[in-house]
Structure 1
Amino acid sequence: MATQETCTIRTCITKPPSIFMHITLLFSSLIICLFLFGLGSAGNVSPRAELYVPNYKYYHNVSSIGTFITDLVVKHPTYFRLDLNFKSRSNIPQYVLHMTNFSSSRISYGSHGVSNVKPRLLLSFGEHAREFFPVESMIHLLKRITRGLYAPLNSPEDQYTKHVLSQLDIYIIVMANPDGRHLIEKTGNYCWRGTSTGVDLDRNFPWNFGGRGSSGDPGDEEFRGPFPHSEPEGRVYLELSNTHHFDAFISFHSGIKQIYIPFADSASRKAKIVPVNSIVQLALAEAMSKAGGSSFKYGIGYNLCEYPADGTIYDYMAGVKKIPYSLNVEMWGEGDVDNKQCFDLFNPPNEKLVASLDDSMPLYDALFTHLVHWKQKQIHEQYHQLGQTDLYIPKSYVIPFLLCLCVFLAIFCRQVPCAFNHRFYSRKRVVSLRSLSSTFTVSGIKIT
């Protein structure tokens, strides 16, 4: 068999190529070119001929995003604080913004320690470089909130701003992946999804890391990286979740209108694993879905999405960090339909950006309102539990306590006068008639 194969190879080399071979080679080359230019694989991150690209008169680039956030904090220090300690591999800040009314940071002392009255949220934007829209929605939201600071008293704008700033404690990762955004601006490749090393930040976390819902190929858009947390951009999630007790983590994306609760990984899909509080999380997803319009769908990640996603941040926050609410919100788009390239798949045209941003604001409104009500219910139940505990515990100790108190008082009352030689009231001397009689008899006067 080996001899026959050798002869066949030799024959092909010595004979001139046939017309059939020319056609085959030409067709193969065409297929390779189509693949390289992104028309043969949805996972390829090579550039494509875009239907439209961002005009930075409408959109923000990396530089203007940083300028906007910095100016916001300078103008409104009572409501915004900025942490620049978290940076990308190229040393670009990720801009961690803390938003609340710092003059009314109320706390509650419950039976299990101190807890925040305000629900504490961690919002994440810009994990995927090509998804400009979520970052723009965050900027639009901040403009809307600060606009209410200058609105007439008790106007809708004023009431909305007070509602957000006084009842919520929000941390915002403004740009999780600034290197990827910078690379897009530099190269014009609007298909780029990962970090500067091509790693999909949303496949780089230790929740079923390395499963088939990610890729080990550096050229694939779902490249998971060499090991969990290999990217410095992931440090912000670890440190913030280790430092603060969050009630909710929301990861914002674009490309379709869907809201996922955990889990999305291949192992959970196979075993049909759901979070222990899936009903509670689905209630929030439903509220946001209704607010966003009839086109929004919601559900468990592996049920809603056609493909598994392993190593995602929102699965990690739910499964490892045990954050009560952990959602992935795809807030704009129609899905991977025909004639879609890259930028238009994830972002609206320039002239439709503002209208699309306005349409996305009800998602935030529903999120904030739902979590405020949920937190108030939690606090009420905590106080109720504390009251029941206070009434029960003393009863088991009341009789021993009273007996000890009586013994102590008896000893104290007997020992104190002797010890201090002090009378607590003036004693009146009582004189008997007999003593008076003897006294007067001695004097020569007898009283009967």
Structure 2
Amino acid sequence: MGVVLPLRFLFVVVFVEVLTGFHGVGCSSQPPMTPIPFDLYHSSAALLKEIKATVVRHPDTLTMETIKAGNKGYAAEVLVVTYNRQTEDVDDQSKLRVLLSFGQHGRELITSEVALQLLSVLAKERNMQRADLMSLHKLLDNLVIKMVPMENLNGRKLVEAADLCERRNGRGVDLNRNWGVDWGKKEKDYDPYEENPGTAPFSEPEAQIMRQLAKSFEPHIWANVHSGMEALFTPYDHKNKTPEGSMSNLMDFILREVNHLHFEDKCLVGSGGGLVGYLAHGTTTDYMYDVVKVPLAFTFEIYGDSEASSKDCFKMFNPVDKLVFNKTVDNWTVAFLTLFKLGFLQLRDNHFAPSADLRKWVPFGGLVDNDFSKILFREDGKLRFYELPLALIRKHNRIFPHSQKINLFMFIWSINYKEILVILLKIIEG
């Protein structure tokens, strides 16, 4: 969602500062504004140049395109990088499709730095010590990843021109309020500077580009990457609840695993509207989930300094210490790899395209689980019903050999819906 500075809080700050100014007190004690430390951060031009150079060096796995749009005298362009390693074993149509957006708010520079490092890992130019490279490369063969490293380039340029609190695009619209789900609704503490939704849903070229990209790509996983706090959000942003159904449970499970593995359970996990402290209307993630029908739709808040002054926006939204910067970028790079793995395995094992019977089911990703079929059926085709629970446990124990919690969840998750239906049909047929 990107953290909004509360209007009432800003009013109190201004009111107090006016009073202290009139009385000549405290003027010299105001905290300084932290400038962008360009020894840590790339400029927008340098970052995009490095990303394009990376793509050029790896034409076998990476491609890119710059999509342009504009209206009413305002123009925008969005760079989209695609990772897709062609192999003979996996057809593109069976691959998991992932869409990631970074830098939707101009002041959140740290998000684009994560995008740059993640791309370098996908290109095999950088290795992460905590990543299992063998299983990682095998996993990546089953993915198509489209990455937008800097969605709001015009807003980013304003930040680099010293408007360090700017989150909106080049004509003052919050791109994360310009989408069609519950667009334009305003809360009591609505701040037009922070949350201007535009003149209509998708009035902004950047939002139009992202909508067209999402609808044409039809991703299975979406992540909108922000900063301002540390949180892993599911829908919804515009109401204080999570969606109903199995996908909501699956999203919650994946995020809690990511939180435990990489962030010591310190991140908030749940719906954005329920946890962030305010409701947000017209957000990208709510549209991705409700309209584009992305099964796994997330908003990530990757860093926030709660002790920074509300006026020191760069420090509030971005790490300024080198060690913290490196830790943030490294942790989130590996967290994305875990997200890819968990998302792929969960969707593959829970969203099947059924054929004539269970033995011929093709899991998501185009891989046939022949061992599982052999366990469940004898050579004459009779079902070994009494072995079903053990078979399911053994199946998921091979996927997550060191996690009893995941295995228990997967066992409970697996014995439902289509598998139960097919098993019951087999029993009825004798």
TM-score by length of 2: 0.70
Counterpart of 1:288 (choices 235, 241, 258) is 258
Counterpart of 1:351 (choices 296, 315, 322) is 322
Aligned to 2:90: 106
Counterpart of 1:125 (choices 79, 102, 111) is 102
Say which SS state the counterpart of residue 231 (structure 2) adopts.
Answer: strand
Structure 2 counterparts to residues 309-320 of structure 1, below 5 A: 309-320=280-291
How much does 1:306 deviate? Answer: 0.9
Q: Describe the shift of the 1:244–1:296 C-alpha distance in structure 2 as closer, same or farther (beyond 3 A).
A: same
1:342 is aligned to 2:313: yes
Structure 1 unmatched runs, 5+: 1-27, 38-47, 108-114, 392-448
Say which SS state the counterpart of residue 254 (structure 2) adopts.
Answer: helix
Question: What is the alpha-carbon distance in structure 1 between the residues aligned to residue 117 and residue 218 of structure 2?
Answer: 27
Counterpart contact for 2:225–2:301, Cα < 8 Å: yes
1:136 is aligned to 2:107: no
How much does 1:144 deviate? Answer: 2.5
Counterpart contact for 1:288–1:362, Cα < 8 Å: no
Aligned to 2:343: 371
Aligned to 2:180: 206
How much does 1:337 deviate? Answer: 3.9
Counterpart contact for 1:52–1:343, Cα < 8 Å: yes
Say which SS state the counterpart of residue 78 (structure 2) adopts.
Answer: coil
Aligned to 1:3: none
1:251 is aligned to 2:224: yes
1:83 is aligned to 2:65: yes
Question: What is the alpha-carbon distance in structure 1 between the residues aligned to residue 70 and residue 64 of structure 2?
Answer: 16
Aligned to 2:356: 387
**Aligned letter for 1:388?**
D
Q: Deviations over 1:283-303 (max 9, x none)?
A: 121122112322112012222
Structure 2 counterparts to residues 416-431 of structure 1, below 5 A: none
Say which SS state the counterpart of residue 354 (structure 1) adopts.
Answer: helix
Counterpart contact for 1:78–1:103, Cα < 8 Å: no
Count of residue pairs the alignment pairs up: 332
1:301 is aligned to 2:272: yes
**Aligned letter for 2:263?**
G
Counterpart contact for 1:262–1:275, Cα < 8 Å: no
Counterpart of 1:261 (choices 190, 214, 234) is 234
1:325 is aligned to 2:302: no
**Aligned letter for 1:93?**
E
Percent identity between the aligned chains?
24
Q: Describe the shift of the 1:201–1:213 C-alpha distance in structure 2 as closer, same or farther (beyond 3 A).
A: farther
Larger deviation, residues 207-216 vs 288-297: 207-216
Question: What is the alpha-carbon distance in structure 2 between the residues aligned to residue 105 and residue 245 of structure 1?
Answer: 22
Q: Describe the shift of the 1:148–1:68 C-alpha distance in structure 2 as closer, same or farther (beyond 3 A).
A: closer
Q: Deviations over 1:373-406 (max 9, x none)?
A: 1232146x32xx2122999xxxxxxxxxxxxxxx
Aligned to 1:362: 334
Structure 2 unmatched runs, 5+: 1-11, 22-29, 361-430
1:180 is aligned to 2:152: no
Q: Deviations over 1:84-120 (max 9, x none)?
A: 123577645321011120345833xxxxxxx833210
Counterpart of 1:73 (choices 55, 59, 63) is 55
Q: Describe the shift of the 1:91–1:102 C-alpha distance in structure 2 as closer, same or farther (beyond 3 A).
A: farther
Say which SS state the counterpart of residue 303 (structure 1) adopts.
Answer: helix
Question: What is the alpha-carbon distance in structure 1 between the residues aligned to residue 133 and residue 175 of structure 2?
Answer: 37
Structure 2 counterparts to residues 3-14 of structure 1, below 5 A: none
Question: What is the alpha-carbon distance in structure 2 between the residues aligned to residue 162 and residue 130 of structure 1?
Answer: 33
Aligned to 1:196: 170
How much does 1:79 deviate? Answer: 0.6
Say which SS state the counterpart of residue 102 (structure 1) adopts.
Answer: coil
Question: What is the alpha-carbon distance in structure 1 between the residues aligned to residue 132 and residue 153 of structure 2?
Answer: 32
Question: What is the alpha-carbon distance in structure 2 between the residues aligned to residue 223 and residue 105 of structure 1?
Answer: 48
How much does 1:31 deviate? Answer: 3.1
Q: Describe the shift of the 1:360–1:192 C-alpha distance in structure 2 as closer, same or farther (beyond 3 A).
A: same
Aligned to 2:395: none
Say which SS state the counterpart of residue 176 (structure 2) adopts.
Answer: helix
TM-score by length of 1: 0.67
**Aligned letter for 2:124?**
R
**Aligned letter for 1:209?**
W
Question: What is the alpha-carbon distance in structure 1 between the residues aligned to residue 57 and residue 136 of structure 2?
Answer: 16
Aligned to 2:215: 242
Question: What is the alpha-carbon distance in structure 1 between the residues aligned to residue 110 and residue 187 of structure 2?
Answer: 24
How much does 1:246 deviate? Answer: 1.1
Question: What is the alpha-carbon distance in structure 1 between the residues aligned to residue 301 and residue 232 of structure 2?
Answer: 6
1:226 is aligned to 2:199: yes
**Aligned letter for 1:357?**
V
Counterpart contact for 2:70–2:76, Cα < 8 Å: yes
Say which SS state the counterpart of residue 233 (structure 2) adopts.
Answer: strand
Question: What is the alpha-carbon distance in structure 1 between the residues aligned to residue 136 and residue 359 of structure 2?
Answer: 38
Q: Describe the shift of the 1:280–1:158 C-alpha distance in structure 2 as closer, same or farther (beyond 3 A).
A: closer
**Aligned letter for 2:43?**
N
Question: What is the alpha-carbon distance in structure 1 between the residues aligned to residue 189 and residue 209 of structure 2?
Answer: 23
Counterpart contact for 1:203–1:214, Cα < 8 Å: no
Counterpart contact for 1:93–1:178, Cα < 8 Å: yes
Larger radius of gyration: 1
Q: Describe the shift of the 1:362–1:390 C-alpha distance in structure 2 as closer, same or farther (beyond 3 A).
A: closer
Counterpart contact for 1:215–1:222, Cα < 8 Å: no
Question: What is the alpha-carbon distance in structure 1 between the residues aligned to residue 138 and residue 81 of structure 2?
Answer: 18
